[in-house]
Amino acid sequence: MCRGSAVYQVKVDLSNLGYACSCPSRKFPCKHVLGLLMLRAASPEAAPQSSEPDWVTDWLSRRRERAEKKSAPVEQEAAPATDEKVVDEKAQRRRAQQRESRVSDGLERLDVWLKDVVRNGLANVETKPAPFWEEQAKRLVDAQAGGMAARVSRWSEIPRSGRDWPTRLLIELGLAKLLIQAWQRFDSLDASLQQDVRQLLGWNVSQAELEQDGERVVDLWLVAGQRTEDEDRIRVQRSWIVGRATGRWGMVLQFAPHNQSFADVIVPGSEQAGEVVFYPGAARQRAKFLIREQVTGVADRPPGVDTIEMFLHHIADALARLPWLTVFGAILHDVTITMHDDRWYVRDRDGHCLPIAGRDHWRLLALTGGHPVDVAGEWDGYCLRPLGLYLNGVYRVL
């Protein structure tokens, strides 16, 4: 029970993080469900085990019945043998060839445009309005290369964003050129890299492909941090997970319209035993939970790296396998929060530093008291965005 302006019945199934609440909130999950999960993760003793009330038993029973109905096989009469399947397969191959042709045409036009931008000089794009970039992105959408379209659309934010914006924009243009060349030489690439190139250009991995080609890893997974961003008409959620035994990092990526909740409830700062499948490719960064068991709070120090040099070495290895990676999860052990020339940094025991995203981290400094702590964050190649920290035996979500 939760007492607020009224008394609400709050329920969470820790086996798969299903939830329900009797409150009238239109947000899913509501604050009562989130509060219960945070209480359970931070202070397990505050939610002692006891016999479940009838309203919880009924709810769990209905959930089991629905799950059984979904998993029950559907009996169908054998269809007479026809040649429809052959026709469908031919149509499917034809559609695939048509899309590949459209993507090739779209990338050829983009290649010409990129050459013009570089030939005219980056100074000419400094004052270009957003439609200058959006027009190219729309053409790529029409060419069914949505992944490249999203990449081009983000370029509009780079000019005049800092003193080093020409360097950052040139790097992005170079990576786009590299992706175009990879598509043009697609047949000569390794199979794993072919998977990545297709995904980067906009092809989705089907559930059947994921089950067949994905890598399954069983571990105790710590949700080190989470970040949600708005992109056009959808919200994008990145949850960074790391395995206790394997030290394996994964990014669980979810999408949802602005007025809807994400399909899976993933609580940052929690741990859960389970099985994760990594999407096929050379980097195998993106992941998805297949099996999740009981969720708990972070009991012990999270796995991480002891020096910034070691962390950057891991990043270099990942980029050598897949140069188009843009974000990485990280847990840095024993770093201090410091400021120099109005810029914030994390500094390791060797005196090496990484810049922190943002300009106001006094609260973070106050939490640490200037002492070394373990900081979890998201690295984008330029700065680290803190997402959590392990302090005095407690994991805090930022």
pLDDT for 229-250, tens place per residue?
A: 887 778 999 999 999 999 999 9
Range with lowest mean pLDDT among 186-200, 239-253, 288-302, 373-387: 288-302
The yes-or-no verdict on residue 71 having pLDDT over 80 is no
| pLDDT in the model for residue 58 | 78
Query: Who has greater pLDDT, 46 or 86?
Result: 46
Chain mean position to CA 382: 18
Give me the chain's average pLDDT, please. 88
Task: Yes or no: say if 118 and 173 are a contact pair by the CB < 8 Å rule.
Answer: yes
Residue 51 three-state SS: coil
| pTM of the full structure | 0.77
- What span, in angstroms and rounded, lies between the C-alpha atoms of 337 and 104? 48
Range with lowest mean pLDDT among 63-67, 181-185, 190-194: 63-67
- What span, in angstroms and rounded, lies between the C-alpha atoms of 195 and 182? 12
pLDDT bin (cut points 50, 70, 90) of residue 38 is confident
Strand pairing of 7-8 and 2-3? Answer: antiparallel
The yes-or-no verdict on residue 26 having pLDDT over 70 is no
Percentage of the chain lying above the pLDDT 70 cut? 92
Q: How many CA atoms lie within 13 A of 199 on its CB side?
A: 21
The yes-or-no verdict on residue 327 having pLDDT over 50 is yes
Percentage of the chain lying above the pLDDT 90 cut? 64
| pLDDT in the model for residue 72 | 53
Task: Yes or no: say if 264 and 289 are a contact pair by the CB < 8 Å rule.
Answer: yes
- The residue-averaged pLDDT of 283-312 equals 92
Range with lowest mean pLDDT among 28-37, 153-162, 362-371: 28-37
Query: Who has greater pLDDT, 351 or 83?
Result: 351
pLDDT bin (cut points 50, 70, 90) of residue 5 is low
| pLDDT in the model for residue 227 | 95
Task: Yes or no: say if 254 and 289 are a contact pair by the CB < 8 Å rule.
Answer: no
pLDDT bin (cut points 50, 70, 90) of residue 86 is low
- DSSP H or E segment with residue 227: strand 215-231
SS (HEC) of 117-131: HHHHCHHHHCCCCHH
